[in-house]
Chain A
Amino acid sequence: MSGISRRRFLAASLAGCAATTLCGTQKALAAGSFTGYPEGMGVLVDMTRCIGCRSCEAACNREQNLPAPAKPFDDLSVFDETFHGGTQKRRPDENAYTVVNRYEPPGGKPVYRKVQCNHCNEPACLSSCFVNAYTKTQEGAVVYNSKICVGCRNCMIACPFNIPGYSYSSAFDPVVKKCIFCHETRLKNGRPPACVEICPQQALTFGKRRELIKIAHQRIHNEPGRYVDHLYGEKELGGTSWMYLSSAPFEQVGFDVAVQNEPIIANVKDFLSTVPMVLAIWPAMFTGFHLLAKRRGGHGHDDDHGGDHAASHGEEGGQS
């Protein structure tokens, strides 16, 4: 074998090693599962207590300096609004980080569900972001850095709760808009978010996530007739900081009960693990194919492959 091939082989091996090392970090970040910061905060939403007054929406709007809505916050006709041929209720968007929707489960009184970012322990938005614009803070919030966001909107694709909104109307500085748990103004200083503080019904309980889980199960235990025996968000998608208690089955009040219990990143790990393998194995494999496909000159191994002979001999002639 000629010196060129050896040098090429070494170069390829080196490149492969470098690539593997590089991807080692990727793997490390992707591997293992994270179940949330031990001291992370959360909110327990008790839908049996919510009366649909929308004061949380108003408080959020004020706290986050969002534009005034088309209908005032004391207008309850918004509960009758539907979109896309009557199939969709209101959802959080660039102008509202939280909305309350009304559901009428069969044979019961109306149930009001507050929708906002659930602040997952292992957020899909965070793991799908290619510039790491999202951070799960120690306090439990999932916050977003608009300074580095490219605007690919993969987080909106990935979010299993369809939470992030995007300021499409801005031509020069469009950014993702979503609930940030009032991280900058309140949570960082140990204060509950604006929506929790204003709730007149104590439907929202602010506390350490692990305490809230205990409280929730205690409530179910104490009043089994009042609650469905499930704490939505305890296990769903790896666990969320915001969790829900309901009187009606969750699928009747707008929740996706088909979601997996593993965080979204679990779906992607398999693919991510193949990446370093491809980077490491392909160079040698295909360089090997190339060497095998080249015939040694003058051995007379002419078989029935027709026209390509002469040309491949030519290729070899150039190198040996």
Chain B
Amino acid sequence: MKSMIKQGVQPVVSHCRDEGDGRRPWSLLDKVLLGLTPRQYLEQAIRNPFNWILGAIFAVGLPLIAYRFLFGLSAVTHSSYDYPWGLFLAFGLFAMVPLSASGFMLGTTVEIFGRHDFAPIERLALLNGLLGYLFAVIYLLVDLGQPWRLPYPMVVAFGPAAVLFLVAWHVATYLSVQVAEVSVSFFEFMGWAGGKRFIRRIAVGLTVAGIILSTLHQGALGALFTYAPGKVHPLWYSAAFQWIHFFCSAIPGGLCMVIAVSTVVKKTMAWRCDGTFLDNLDRCTIGLAKGASMGLVTYLTIKLIGVAHDNEWVYLTTGWGAWFLFELAVGVVLPLALFAWAIHHQRVGLVRLAAFITIFGVVLNRINTALIAFNWQLYREIPHIFEVLICLTIFAIYVVVYRFILYRLPILFTWKAVESEVPEAVAETVRPVRAGGSVPAASAVYRAID
């Protein structure tokens, strides 16, 4: 795409072509093809080496997924009775969901606490939340014995005393909430002003619903393991605090995922970002890192309280203890120290590195709880190679969908209003201008298109 722009192609940012010949509107196909001709689009797609890597993954992985659905789980997993939850859930569900806490975190920051200085990154955080959940559900569908029965806990049979019942309901409702939150960008893209106005009106309600649902199901994913007191190693198990451990680590997990994704975006698709996003990114990153640090330090504290509460100090001297301390040292203490130093010295690059390490820490914690330290008294289960490949393939699909949306919907850039929308937009902007002389350009522009 970068070379296309060099040739003079302008990516779509509004409903109309910005040409001399009198505002010819883009068709939907034009918008989807980013304003390129089909030929140009194909050319740039083929030129991108990353697409070749994705293609290679799909060539192996997609047949494997078909194989799994045609011949059952035993075709691609070890079909373990002792480890009924394998990598699909350990990575796909238990690790993807905390990394998707970004949606409700930034929603709260901007909509509830009114910190509109974080607005330039809010949409990315919302999208990250939506896609993370969506793909967690897709991983779940691959893992379920009878995926076509997924709606059963909603309509056919209810087990309301089960933690998984809460997870199912909350993930389903939260997915709908996130679709509504992200739909603002879609309505802008389609030019449906009415839909956008409606969502804006219920934004606070949606955000509060998001906080409730996130608190409960992030916690519920942890509470699921309290069903298995003898199976999860005591250091990763805490009957009293498991759900708070999971909820609390989701906060730095979600925030750092936004930092990580925005880093990748800045490196690989800067052409798609507008000034508002790029100029505010470093400042927002530091802000997110401050939030993540607070989450991490709280998490570290309550993890240690968990060890103290159940008097598990003696386990720290065992091999399991060393692995537990490694998880905490590398996944929590190291990023915490890096964040502290980097925030103090305003070193954004280091903040980004620390964010990637935090993500590693959160993922390691979930895989430890669900797989490695699970059945600690039995034996270790090494996932089947097909299971690993399917996990990788679904992650690649996630990346493709993520990129597809970022290229098109106004997540990283501001959709330019056309005449018909202008009066409305102006009416909204007038008041902020009255409010203070020190309006930062970025957020004013953002409000204008809101």
Interface residues of A (CB under 8 A from B): 8, 11-12, 25-26, 29-30, 84-85, 87-88, 91, 93, 124, 127-133, 148-154, 156-158, 160, 162, 164-166, 168-175, 256, 258-260, 264-265, 267-268, 270-272, 274-275, 278-279, 282-283, 286-287, 289-290, 293-294, 297, 302, 306-315, 317-318
Q: Are A162 and B165 within 8 A (Cβ)?
A: no
* A26 to B239 alpha-carbon distance, docked (Å): 20
CB < 8 Å neighbour of B435 from A12, A130, A317: A317
B444 CB within 8 Å of chain A: yes
B112 CB within 8 Å of chain A: yes
Q: Which residues of A contact B73 (CB under 8 A)?
A: 168, 174
CB < 8 Å neighbour of A174 from B72, B227, B242: B72
* A30 to B161 alpha-carbon distance, docked (Å): 6
Q: Tell me which of B144-152, B319-327, B349-357 binds A.
A: B144-152
Q: Which residues of A contact B145 (CB under 8 A)?
A: 149-153, 166, 168, 174-175
Q: Are B212 and A283 within 8 A (Cβ)?
A: yes
CB < 8 Å neighbour of B114 from A165, A279, A312: A312
CB < 8 Å neighbour of A314 from B219, B229, B428: B428
Q: Are A128 and B435 within 8 A (Cβ)?
A: no
B431 CB within 8 Å of chain A: yes
Given contact pairs A132-B159, A308-B114, A150 touches B150 in the complex (Cβ within 8 A): yes
Given contact pairs A93-B81, A151-B146, A279-B212, A171 touches B70 in the complex (Cβ within 8 A): yes
Closest 9 CB pairs of A and B: A151-B145, A311-B116, A317-B431, A313-B435, A314-B432, A168-B79, A153-B84, A171-B72, A156-B84
CB < 8 Å neighbour of A282 from B113, B211, B228: B211
The B368-409 residues at the A interface (CB cut-off 8 A) are: 378-379
* A297 to B79 alpha-carbon distance, docked (Å): 63
Contacts A150-B152, A307-B438, A311-B114 aside, 20 further interface pairs with beta carbons under 8 A come to A29-B161, A127-B227, A130-B153, A130-B167, A132-B158, A149-B149, A151-B145, A151-B146, A152-B145, A154-B162, A154-B227, A168-B72, A168-B73, A271-B242, A272-B161, A274-B219, A286-B208, A308-B114, A310-B436, A314-B116
* A282 to B84 alpha-carbon distance, docked (Å): 35
B274 CB within 8 Å of chain A: no
Q: Are A267 and B153 within 8 A (Cβ)?
A: no
Q: Are B219 and A271 within 8 A (Cβ)?
A: yes
Q: Are B81 and A91 within 8 A (Cβ)?
A: yes
Q: Are A84 and B229 within 8 A (Cβ)?
A: no
CB < 8 Å neighbour of B162 from A91, A130, A314: A130
Q: Are A29 and B160 within 8 A (Cβ)?
A: yes
Q: Are B162 and A148 within 8 A (Cβ)?
A: no
Size band of the interface chain B makes with A: 35 or more
Kindly report which residue of chain B lies nearest to residue A174, judged by CB atoms. B145
Q: Are A310 and B84 within 8 A (Cβ)?
A: no
B5 shortest CB reach to chain A, Å? 31
Q: Which residues of B contact A156 (CB under 8 A)?
A: 81, 84
Q: Are A311 and B84 within 8 A (Cβ)?
A: no
B297 CB within 8 Å of chain A: no
Q: Are A287 and B164 within 8 A (Cβ)?
A: no
Majority-rule SS of B interface residues? helix
Q: Are A171 and B71 within 8 A (Cβ)?
A: yes
Q: Are A313 and B431 within 8 A (Cβ)?
A: yes
B251 CB within 8 Å of chain A: no
Q: Are B161 and A127 within 8 A (Cβ)?
A: yes
Q: Which residues of A contact B159 (CB under 8 A)?
A: 129-133
A-B contact pairs, 27 of them (CB 8 A): A84-B378, A85-B379, A130-B168, A131-B156, A154-B162, A168-B74, A169-B74, A260-B229, A267-B227, A267-B229, A271-B163, A271-B223, A272-B223, A283-B212, A293-B113, A302-B436, A306-B117, A307-B117, A307-B440, A307-B443, A308-B443, A310-B439, A311-B117, A313-B431, A313-B432, A314-B432, A317-B432
B231 CB within 8 Å of chain A: yes
Kindly report which residue of chain A lies nearest to residue B427, judged by CB atoms. A318
Kindly report which residue of chain A lies nearest to residue B229, judged by CB atoms. A267
Q: Are B74 and A256 within 8 A (Cβ)?
A: no
Q: Are A272 and B163 within 8 A (Cβ)?
A: yes
Given contact pairs A148-B152, A158-B227, A290 touches B438 in the complex (Cβ within 8 A): no
B386 shortest CB reach to chain A, Å? 13
Q: Which residues of B contact A29 (CB under 8 A)?
A: 160-161
* A293 to B108 alpha-carbon distance, docked (Å): 11
Q: Are B432 and A265 within 8 A (Cβ)?
A: no
* A121 to B81 alpha-carbon distance, docked (Å): 23
* A272 to B162 alpha-carbon distance, docked (Å): 9
B215 shortest CB reach to chain A, Å? 6
Kindly report which residue of chain A lies nearest to residue B225, judged by CB atoms. A157
Given contact pairs A12-B205, A130-B162, A310 touches B227 in the complex (Cβ within 8 A): no
Q: Are A271 and B229 within 8 A (Cβ)?
A: no
Kindly report which residue of chain A lies nearest to residue B448, judged by CB atoms. A314
CB < 8 Å neighbour of B115 from A153, A302, A308: A308
Kindly report which residue of chain A lies nearest to residue B78, judged by CB atoms. A168
A308 shortest CB reach to chain B, Å? 5
B216 CB within 8 Å of chain A: yes
* A168 to B165 alpha-carbon distance, docked (Å): 23
B85 CB within 8 Å of chain A: yes
B224 CB within 8 Å of chain A: yes
Q: Are A270 and B239 within 8 A (Cβ)?
A: yes
CB < 8 Å neighbour of A268 from B146, B163, B435: B163
* A287 to B203 alpha-carbon distance, docked (Å): 11
B185 CB within 8 Å of chain A: no
Kindly report which residue of chain A lies nearest to residue B119, judged by CB atoms. A311
Q: Are A318 and B205 within 8 A (Cβ)?
A: no
Q: Are B112 and A278 within 8 A (Cβ)?
A: no
The B134-176 residues at the A interface (CB cut-off 8 A) are: 144-147, 149-150, 152-153, 156-168
* A271 to B247 alpha-carbon distance, docked (Å): 12
Most A-side CB within 10 Å, residue of B149, B153, B157, B438: B157
* A30 to B163 alpha-carbon distance, docked (Å): 11
The B203-253 residues at the A interface (CB cut-off 8 A) are: 204-205, 207-208, 211-212, 215-216, 219-220, 223-224, 226-231, 239-240, 242-243
Q: Are A150 and B144 within 8 A (Cβ)?
A: yes
